[in-house]
């Protein structure tokens, strides 16, 4: 019972974090698998900044609302189909962060330009079709694109991160957007010449690939959670 309460609190907090930390405003959502089941906790159809632990829905991998009152976010299929095909996944974040969207629209792949980017040493998937993931089929298409990657950048739309638990999926999303912001700033400073950016080599990226270790996730989650508590909506 206590574990269920903690998970609900984490899901609500993860949603507020992605809004308070600038990864989403009106849209976006974070979810967590209820351990050992094909169901997950998911917020209602409002800005993630409004998520509350007592108003979460329980949804299954076929997209059915099992318990809870209210309408789910229409992109529930992102979560439902990843949980259906990846039993190793326990947490998912979908957000619309601006720097990642910018990269996708200037045809720049995400490059590892700082240590926290090492979370994506194995690569970031790129999903080309525009528009929202509002059907089971589109959810399955996104799953195929994601493969075994930690995250996917969706062109003109946003990002999705999928990891073992909700806290690391949230931290991964924050690190992905942070890296994209830095990459854009470096591109601007270099006058648009991406050849001047000293992106990490594969070997260098591997050396900092432990960014989602339990110790780093615990420290980052503590910070982001505190920020979400003190920063106002829209702040
Ligand atoms: Zn979306």
- The domain made up of 2-230 has a fold known as L-fuculose-1-phosphate Aldolase (3.40.225)
CA 97 to chain centre: 10
CA of 99 to the centre of ligand 1 (A): 15
Integer CA distances (angstroms), 22 to 7, 48, 181, 227, in order: 23, 11, 11, 11
Question: Taking the domains of the chain in order of start, what are their residue ranges?
Answer: 2-230
State residue 2's pLDDT score.
78
CA of 191 to the centre of ligand 1 (A): 31
pTM: 0.97
Overall average pLDDT of the 138-146 stretch = 98
For 40-97, the pLDDT digits (tens) are 999 999 999 999 999 999 999 999 999 999 999 999 999 999 999 999 999 999 999 9
Overall average pLDDT of the 167-193 stretch = 97
Average pLDDT over the chain, rounded to an integer: 96
**Residue-by-residue DSSP string for 69-91:** SSPBPTTHHHHHHHHHH-TT--E
Q: Which residues have a beta carbon within 5 Å of ligand 1, which is an ion?
A: 75, 158
State residue 114's pLDDT score.
98
Asked whether the predicted pLDDT for residue 12 surpasses 90, the reply is yes
């Amino acid at each position: 019972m206590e574990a269920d309460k903690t998970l609900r609190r984490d899901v609500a907090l993860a949603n507020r974090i992605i809004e308070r930390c600038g990864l989403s405003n009106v849209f976006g959502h974070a979810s967590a698998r209820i351990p050992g089941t094909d169901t997950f906790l998911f917020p209602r159809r409002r800005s993630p900044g409004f998520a509350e632990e007592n108003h979460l829905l329980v949804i299954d991998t076929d997209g059915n609302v099992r318990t809870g009152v209210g309408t789910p976010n229409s992109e529930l299929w992102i979560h439902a189909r990843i949980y259906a095909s990846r039993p190793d996944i326990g947490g998912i974040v979908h957000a619309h962060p601006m720097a990642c969207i910018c990269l996708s629209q200037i045809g720049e792949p995400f490059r590892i330009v700082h240590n926290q980017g090492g979370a994506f040493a194995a690569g970031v998937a790129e999903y080309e079709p525009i528009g929202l993931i509002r059907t089971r089929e589109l959810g399955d298409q996104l799953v195929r694109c994601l493969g075994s990657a930690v995250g996917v950048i969706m062109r003109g739309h946003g990002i999705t991160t999928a990891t073992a638990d909700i806290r690391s999926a949230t931290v991964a999303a924050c690190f992905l957007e942070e890296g994209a912001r830095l990459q854009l700033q470096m591109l601007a400073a270099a006058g648009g010449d991406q050849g001047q950016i000293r992106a990490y080599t594969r070997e260098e990226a591997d050396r900092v690939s432990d960014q989602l270790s339990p110790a780093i996730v615990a420290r980052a989650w503590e910070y982001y959670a505190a920020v979400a508590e003190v920063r106002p909506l829209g702040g």
